[in-house]
Amino acid sequence: IARDDQLLAPVPLTVVELPSVMSERPEVIAEMRTHLLGFMSSGTVSLSSVKKNTGKLAAHGQGGVGKTIMAAMLVHDPMVRQAFDRIGWVSVGQTPNIMEMQRTLFEQLTGEPMPVKDGATTQTQLEDLQAACKGKRFLVVLDDAWERVHEKQLNCIDPESPSKQLVTTRIRGLMEGCDEVSLNLLTP
């Protein structure tokens, strides 16, 4: 079923702007899209450490190699936007405010602010976020993750749904049991 542009998932305001001039790597984008959308791989770029489909993809590589831009290109891709009802994007970094990021994701994914609760913790907010995502078709992008614990505190996708999580990181193996694509090994 074709959907017009108004029915594509909106791109969150937190997504970085694409540069006017960039070295595009269509084979990388195609492979990452393949993983996120679940159709057969082109075989051009191989995903390393391919695991059982966990709904997660990690793009790792040194700083400046283009992980964030690749993720932003995917989020802007009409096929990706058509496949998901909502897209969430947070830039994690080395010292993230997890509770604020959970609230941001909640609002991006539900269209409503997260209800304020006395005594809220990262765990109680994660539970609220996971409940809101149950059974949905969402794409969640965690850009520039540095620690596994932060990924876990922001992982709201329902593994029983078609939702997916894309994590960009400098750290190979940051996420256990997921597919990874190494951008270090690719030349622009």
Question: What pLDDT digit, counting tens, does each position of 119-173 carry?
Answer: 999 999 999 999 999 999 999 999 999 999 999 999 999 989 999 999 998 888 7
**DSSP state for residue 44 in the 8-state scheme:** S
For the four alpha carbons of 64, 68, 69 and 74, in that order, the dihedral sign comes to positive
Contact assessment for residue 72 and residue 18, using Cβ atoms and an 8 Å cutoff = yes
- Which element (helix H / strand E) includes 142? strand 138-145
Greater pLDDT, 38 or 84: 84
Q: In whole numbers, what is the pLDDT of the chain averaged over residues?
A: 83
Both tokens assigned to 29: 């984008």
Tell me the Cα Rg of the chain: 16
Mean pLDDT value of segment 66-76: 90
Q: Average the pLDDT over 62-83 and give the result.
A: 89
What residue ranges in 28-76 does DSSP mark as E strands? 56-60
Note the pTM of the prediction, 2 decimals.
0.83
What residues are paired with 138 via a beta bridge?
86
Say how far apart CA 1 and CA 148 lie, in whole Å: 38
